Amino acid sequence: MKTRQQFELGMVVAMAAFGIGSLPAAGADWPQFRGPNLDGKSTETGIIKSWEQQPPALRWMGEGLGNGYAGLAVVGERIYTCGDFKDGQGVVAVDAKDGKVVWTTVLTEGVPKHGYEGARSTPTVVGDQLWVTTSDGMIACLSTAGKVLWKKSFDKEWGGKMMSGWGFAESVLVDGKAAICTPGGPEAMMVALDKDSGKELWKCQVPEFASNGKPGAGYSSVVISMGAGVKQYVQMTGRGVIGVRAADGKFLWGYGHTANGVANISSPVIEGDYVFSSTAYGAGAGLVKLEKDGAGVKATEVYFLKPDVLQNHHGGMVLVDGYIYCGHKQNGGDLVCLELKTGKFMWGPIKAPGKGSACVTYADGHLIFRYQNGLVVLVEATPKEFRVKGSFTPQFQEKESWAYPVVAGGRLYLREQDKVMCYQL
């Protein structure tokens, strides 16, 4: 009788023989926007070496996702995303084994109209439920079988407002019993709802603070910080970055130096007591340190980088071992490596190998950059020097390739409007 170790080794050998790859690491799901920890990083190892000799092989390509730029949530053998369909915007579930649609649930009456039409919100999956926002301003909770459990309108409930006209783009944060979202209303910039019922737990009114931005919600998604020993929700809004106490929704601090008046998009990066943010449209990048301030928290600027030095448009940023990796320039993706706490460039800007903004995901010691024109580039995540490890052009490309790459179960998933491609890592 074989031991468990012998059985697993046999499975690995058999899978390799058929070109399927090794067993994926435990905890390889990608259940929400930017992965398990909201930081754009996969937990998997042993899946990437180099693409110079042989790029990833296309396993399958599916369709029926609807139109949009929403990312993918991958849990087990299900992929969830949002799209625009003929009768409205909604959520779709796809089989991760072959890309076939399992179910589609429409949430809106008609297709939302705004600049760059299409869904933006990546579903957040916890247990047998998921949460999304629609681009016309609705938060909804569904079962993973596609049944709508509850939904609420940002406008009707909280006077929701965007800073500009490209539609709500937020992916919901689910933290314990709460679902956190950002309607952008004058008395409810951020709200916490009971994740199961939709009942309001608290709402946060944000006062005016020094800013280069505008009122309303930005295009970013909430992340969690324990800065200054206080659990808080950090969000890039229309006016800039804010910190909101998780326990009761109290506004703690605001930082507007890295905001702009057009579109604040990339999620802030959290490291201990530090918060790093960057936007384009002539804004720049900056680091603040969070410190106790009586019963509250204050944010003190450590450094600021002018837009000609660093501005991240909407490709996002990842932090690996104290270094920020991202694309630089508005509608551009020149690659940089920056030491977080000093603002010192370790390398870059390196001229972009692709065209347009570069979405970034980290996996197994490497950075996967996906450019607006579809090109996917592999770069080693090291501050020592810029090392390209290969690139490839996906099987299908349409419009702007703005959906972030997803790594789950030893596979690379690329959403492209109505289609999704699965590549074997």
At residue 26, the pLDDT reads 43
Q: How far apart are CA 258 and CA 105, in angstroms?
A: 38
Number of domains in the chain: 1
Strands of 226-283, DSSP E? 232-236, 241-245, 251-255, 269-271, 274-279
One-letter amino acid at 239 equals R
Q: Is residue 403 in some structural domain?
A: yes
At residue 89, the pLDDT reads 98
At residue 4, the pLDDT reads 37
Q: Is residue 167 in some structural domain?
A: no
Q: Is residue 421 in some structural domain?
A: yes
Give the pTM: 0.93
Torsion of CA 24, 25, 28, 34, to 10 degrees: -110
Q: How far apart are CA 161 and CA 184, in angstroms?
A: 5
In contact, 188 and 216? CB cutoff 8 Å: no
Burial class (CB in 10 A: 0-12, 13-18, 19+), 26: exposed
Q: pLDDT for 329-383, tens place per residue?
A: 999 999 999 999 999 999 999 999 999 999 999 999 999 999 999 999 999 999 9
- Give me the domain span that covers residue 403: 1-61+351-425
Q: How far apart are CA 41 and CA 389, in angstroms?
A: 18
Q: Is residue 266 in some structural domain?
A: no
Q: Is residue 425 in some structural domain?
A: yes
Instruction: Identify the segments of the chain with pLDDT beneath 50.
Output: 1-27
Burial 180-209 (b: 16+ CB within 10 A, else e): bbbbbbeebbbbbbebeebeeebbbebeee
At residue 16, the pLDDT reads 34
What is the number of residues in the chain? 425
Q: Is residue 407 in some structural domain?
A: yes
> How far, in Å, are 45, 78, 158 from residue 108 at the CA level?
40, 23, 18
At residue 28, the pLDDT reads 86
Q: Return the SS3 of 223.
A: strand
At residue 128, the pLDDT reads 98
Q: Is residue 364 in some structural domain?
A: yes
